[in-house]
Chains A and B, each alone.
Chain A
């Protein structure tokens, strides 16, 4: 029973941390650029303000446009119930494995792309087209990384993967793991819309991928979509840190272990966020038609990861 409370608590922790993570990365980027920067808690104020603003809908849009923010938010929130954020294994671990997580995120992307096409603007269509291209080409890498992790852990269920790495610490520095981390890191940049794939703070529509689909959204719908984007960033960060370096994840349900897990999670997320901010400050955005080359590099890394796992068994 306490496990189910833990699940709900974990989702609430994710909801609470997500805007902070986005703000934190943005704050570090500003600092690295020599500016004072927006306060790290700014996304919370943004969300509060957006929920209190009215919504304007295009007269070309259909029910799909109004339904999509709820679906995107719900599917992303549902994922946070399945991934090992603070503890592993979780009671809901048996409901879904890593493949389900990937496809639930694809569900959100699918409907967001449709919502980009709905108002009939060219920007929305362009954003939808680019987003689906990047999502489609990132899929093989994700699948192969899952294969690599599952080979090592003997399961695609996330709890088991975390447990396995905790039990065999030496596996964390095996070539398979390191290559898999590199591959998933590149995919994370692509799926969450960070540089060098997509600039999250651009105003130039021709350079947008994710933002172009949300240009028509306002008010509470925009708040839900922004929050879902933050959750997506949190999910990918957590998968990276908790599957490859799972120390700190609680294996028992004592308050001490859980408290420690939350603190360790926040520090791991902060470290990865700093790394991403550093990367974003140093790297320029790639031309759209160079992005598949980058994703092909990540695919090769993932394939090497799997091959080395096979050969070194």
Chain B
């Protein structure tokens, strides 16, 4: 294990050095990517070793980093998140080798390479942090490196603004986290997690509730729970695509890691209302995330809103787990947490894949706007295939990984029938309904995303002259596509591993033998049984049989290519195709109460006659509720306070001398009376 750790760290450091000294050339980019990829793979291997062996990896840092208060320890849960880091990091780095070629000469490849490796390095250490100080320092380092990566393309519209929002939100969360750790560790930030675990039982209920709320705020700001999500659709689209994959796939999962670590591990669970709040926040995030995603036609913004949705689904699993835990239903609680963790790694793989795919499309067509794409499936067949795998996975279609984890989340919510108090139990069916609606809407959204982007005819010259992605980019996408398929076909391997990861946290029993055997997934008391592997085999078998039977019965095999049937019209232009806005229009109408679309219509009539129209301009936007109702007043208030305080900065030396004198007098008075 120690060798793997050293390989990981040195690979990242070498990657950073390569970026510093030869970032611009192709070899330099290759070394950067290689460093990041090797580091990721080694980290992934380390995580797998820790999970399968069950032995935590502790680094006696007091020997070579004495007095710094740094403590590092990798237990099962940290190892799982390290696997997530490694998986997405490896694919994104390989992809980045091809993708960053377009930045040569325009933006600083040095910064990009250094920050990429540094981000992955801080993520690796983050999941190993064993005391509050280490955790917080690494958290801040992770946020800052992510910020630098987000503003890589600094002269594009909206990038710097997105970076500022990102920085502000992450620091607001950071403040909450500092307060939380101060409460947990009774103001000594170098107490290890182990002693915090022991001490948490002694905290007063008010303090525990405060910790819960601060943790939810702080980690929620990082994960993008509604209403703390506003930075996500701004920051993730403007970042370079392989960075977007890491941000959406890994960095926001650190919020989940933090919540699990604090709520389950250190605090050992809490009253049922904690789980209820988490479940509610998750359900609302999931539903609102997908509803806003439906209305987007910027491909990467759509994917960013889907990240909000999937974080919501993960939190629904975790919330259910917390509720069951508070009632002592330990097996069901383990099921809830396992479903949340499974969805974590699944989302990392399919969202990473989708962002890499979107990056390939952006690379080929120079636009993120879906309304200008089309017909790319014939020009970029491999990219289209990988994107289709990601789209099918995120829509929870069997037999891919999205279905396996959503099935588990459903089953854990269905276990709500075992909750003794009916008032709490009734929350579960409502959550089931919301999850089902989310899942259906996600499928609709990805029919739109894949269909408008890749199918039919190109809608703009840029789309016509697109090209297939270079091979490193295809390799990165292929890796994640394979991960999606593997995670979907082998849940009976993943679920016991997750069961082992959760052993002992918050008193959860060892469930690695309970939830799966042979090829099947089983839920407690045989409530449900399912096998995605056999489903996949069955589907393939039937798929293969159907053409054979048709051949046997001598069906007509002739095929002719002609024009699309358009009621006999002569010629077809891209203007005749369906657009993304049109595709989402029925849903826009159905949910009009939420979207409150505004409408602007201006018609230019011919100067001579009102019966002839020269031009019509139609503009419709959905009302951004959270920005208007929540952040608008907040920002107004901050500006108002800042303006008030600024009046103190009068510029006059006399006033400043008065301030100094008054402050001195007050200090003397305080010293006199204490």
Contact = CB atoms under 8 A, between A and B. Distances in A.
Q: Does A touch B (CB under 8 Å) in the complex?
A: yes
Interface in A262-286: none
B542 A74 contact: yes
A138 interface: yes
Given A95-B531, A117-B447, A136-B443, A54 B546 contact: no
B444 A119 contact: no
B586 A52 contact: no
* Interface residue tally on B, bucketed by range: 35 or more
A174 to B, nearest CB: 15
A125 B577 CA distance: 7
Contacts of B546: 70, 73-74, 77, 224
A142 B440 CA distance: 11
Given A62-B455, A117-B451, A120-B564, A78 B576 contact: no
Nearest to B435: A143
B410 A99 contact: yes
Contacts of B576: 120-122
Contacts of B526: 155
Nearest to A69: B546
A103 B396 contact: yes
Interface stretch (B151-159, B262-270, B365-373, B421-429): B421-429
B667 interface: no
Contacts of A136: 437, 440-441, 443-444, 587
B606 to A, nearest CB: 29
A51 B451 contact: no
A137 to B, nearest CB: 7
A286 to B, nearest CB: 13
A5 to B, nearest CB: 16
A294 B117 CA distance: 54
A258 interface: no
Interface stretch (A194-202, A240-248, A299-307): A299-307
B639 interface: no
B565 A215 contact: yes
A157 B456 CA distance: 40
Q: Could you say which of A97, A129, A216, A299 has the most chain B C-beta atoms within 10 Å of its C-beta?
A: A129
Nearest to A67: B543
A75 B565 contact: no
A305 to B, nearest CB: 10
A139 B432 CA distance: 10
Nearest to A219: B556
A26 interface: no
Contact of B444 (A92, A126, A135, A306): A135
A150 B456 contact: no
A171 interface: no
A135 B446 CA distance: 13
A103 B397 contact: yes
* Interface residue tally on A, bucketed by range: 35 or more
Contacts of B633: none
A95 B455 contact: no
B437 A74 contact: no
A311 interface: yes
B452 A117 contact: yes
B616 interface: no
B198 interface: no
Interface stretch (B23-31, B180-188, B249-257, B533-541): B533-541
B392 interface: yes
B599 interface: no
Q: Could you say which of A55, A99, A124, A302 has the most chain B C-beta atoms within 10 Å of its C-beta?
A: A99
Contacts of A143: 410, 432-433, 435-436
Given A64-B377, A103-B396, A133-B587, A113 B578 contact: no
B422 A54 contact: no
Nearest to A132: B444
A72 B668 CA distance: 83
B538 A95 contact: yes
A107 B451 contact: no
A104 interface: yes
Q: Could you say which of A61, A147, A306 has the most chain B C-beta atoms within 10 Å of its C-beta?
A: A147
A130 B411 CA distance: 30
A144 interface: yes
Interface string A213-251: 001100110001000000000000000000000000000
B290 to A, nearest CB: 9
B320 to A, nearest CB: 13
Interface stretch (B235-243, B547-555, B654-662): B547-555
Nearest to A155: B527
A59 B398 contact: no
B542 A78 contact: yes
Nearest to A109: B443
B530 A97 contact: yes
A58 B566 CA distance: 11
B535 A95 contact: yes
B570 interface: no
Contacts of B80: none
Nearest to A66: B559
B451 to A, nearest CB: 4
A42 interface: no
A138 B543 CA distance: 27
A114 B447 contact: yes
A107 B397 contact: yes
Nearest to B544: A74
A120 B456 contact: yes
Contacts of B456: 60, 117-120
A151 interface: yes
Given A132-B443, A135-B443, A144-B432, A122 B578 contact: yes
A60 B457 contact: yes
Interface string A68-87: 00110111011001000000
B434 A310 contact: no
A133 B410 contact: no
Given A78-B538, A154-B527, A128 B577 contact: no
B417 interface: yes
24 contacts: A54-B558, A54-B559, A55-B556, A56-B559, A94-B520, A94-B531, A95-B534, A100-B407, A106-B443, A107-B392, A119-B565, A120-B456, A120-B572, A120-B577, A121-B576, A122-B576, A125-B451, A125-B583, A128-B583, A137-B440, A150-B414, A220-B550, A289-B586, A303-B430
Given A103-B398, A289-B590, A292-B590, 13 more contacts: A51-B553, A78-B538, A96-B535, A119-B564, A120-B374, A120-B455, A122-B577, A125-B451, A125-B582, A130-B586, A135-B444, A136-B441, A156-B411
